[in-house]
Amino acid sequence: MKLTQKQVAEELGVDEGTVWNWEKNRTVPLPPLMSKIMGFLGYIPN
């Protein structure tokens, strides 16, 4: 999508470091955020 981590974080209402941790597989999104992430991406991520 060519977005920065900051842009994604703002869209999802999380901290930029949270997005970084997800990308590096250090943490996983909490279940309440999954529906927001799926709506943002337009698909169910695996």
Task: Give the pLDDT of the chain (46 residues) as one tens digit per residue.
Answer: 899 999 999 999 999 999 999 999 999 999 999 999 999 999 988 7
**What tokens were used for 21?**
């941790």
Q: CB neighbours of 29 closer than 8 A, spacing ≥ 6?
A: 22, 37
Instruction: Give the pLDDT confidence score for residue 45 in this predicted structure.
Output: 81
**What tokens were used for 37?**
């992430």
